[in-house]
Amino acid sequence: MNLDDLKRRMDGAISVLRTELAGLRTGRASSGMLDPIMVNAYGSHMPITQLATISVPEPRLIMVQVWDRATAGAVEKAIRESSLGLNPVVEGQVFRIPIPELNTERRMEFVKVAHKYAESARISVRHVRRDGIDGLKKAEKDGSMSEDDSRKMSEKVQKLTDDTIAEIDAVLAAKEAEITQI
C-alpha cells in the first residue's frame, strides 16, 4: 500500500478542479476561458488553442487569431455554441470577443457550475479512497498485512481523503467568493 500514490492521485483531482474553475469567467477576460472549447476541424475535435492564438488586449476583450482561414467558420461556430455565452465579432481571421458584465442570474449559474466541478472532484477523491481501501482489504486477505496494520492504514487513507475534500471545499469557496463579488 502506497500512500504517496494515493496522495498524488487525489492531488490530481484538485489540479483538474483548479483548471476547470479557471475557465469560469468572473467578468474579466482571460485566455483560459476558451480552453474548454473544442473545434470540429480537419475531421476531428481539436482544442481551440491548437487552431488559433488567443490574447487579452483589454480587461473585457479576448482576441482570437485563427491560423488557417479554412477553420475560421468552425472556430466561430464552436465559440458561439459553447456554454460560455460569448458572441464573437468576426473580422476575417481575427475574432474580437467582448466579455459582458455579469448579472446576478449569470453569477448564480456560474456558482452552480463551480459546485458541479467540485462534486466531480470529490467523487474522484472518493474513488481513489475506495481503491486504497480495497487494496488494504486484499493485502489483509492475502496475509501480507495484519488486521491492525490494515486498520491503521485505512485510518490514514481516510484522513488523507478528509484533508483533500477540505481542500476542494476551500478552493470552491474561494472561487464562489470571486464569482459573487461585484
**8 A C-beta contact, residue 158 and residue 46:** no
Query: Of 98, 117, 135, which residue constitutes the final position of a domain?
Result: 98
Q: What is the mean pLDDT of residues 11-20?
A: 90
pLDDT tier, 3 (very low <50, low <70, confident <90, very high otherwise): confident
In the numeric block, which cell numbers belong to residue 114?
463551480
Instruction: Scan for cell 467582448, then name that residue.
Output: 98
pLDDT tier, 25 (very low <50, low <70, confident <90, very high otherwise): low
Same domain, 32 and 89: yes
Report pLDDT for 22: 80
What are 159-168's pLDDT values in tens digits? 999 999 999 9
- pLDDT above 70 covers a percentage of the chain that reads 97
Domain that holds residue 128: 3-21+103-180
| pLDDT score of 36 more than 90 | no
Indicate which CATH number applies to the domain containing 58: 3.30.1360.40
What are 96-131's pLDDT values in tens digits? 998 877 788 878 888 888 899 999 999 999 999 999
Beta-carbon count within 10 A of 87 CB: 10
Report pLDDT for 160: 95
- Computed over every residue of the chain, the mean pLDDT equals 88
Same domain, 174 and 117: yes
| pLDDT score of 182 more than 70 | no
Same domain, 60 and 110: no
Q: What is the mean pLDDT of residues 40-52?
A: 88
Work out how many domains the chain is built from and give that number: 2
Closest residue by Cα to residue 161 from 124, 135, 136, 134: 124
Compute φ and ψ for 95, nearest 5 degrees: -115, 130
Report pLDDT for 27: 65
CA distance 182 to 168: 24
Report pLDDT for 127: 95
Query: Of 62, 79, 98, which residue constitutes the final position of a domain?
Result: 98
Sheet strands side by side (includes 94-98): 52-58, 61-66, 94-98, 89-91
Q: What is the mean pLDDT of residues 4-18?
A: 92
Report pLDDT for 166: 96
42 secondary structure, DSSP code: T
CA distance 59 to 31: 11
CA distance 79 to 27: 17
Beta-carbon count within 10 A of 142 CB: 8
CA distance 86 to 97: 7
Q: pTM, whole model, 2 decimals?
A: 0.69
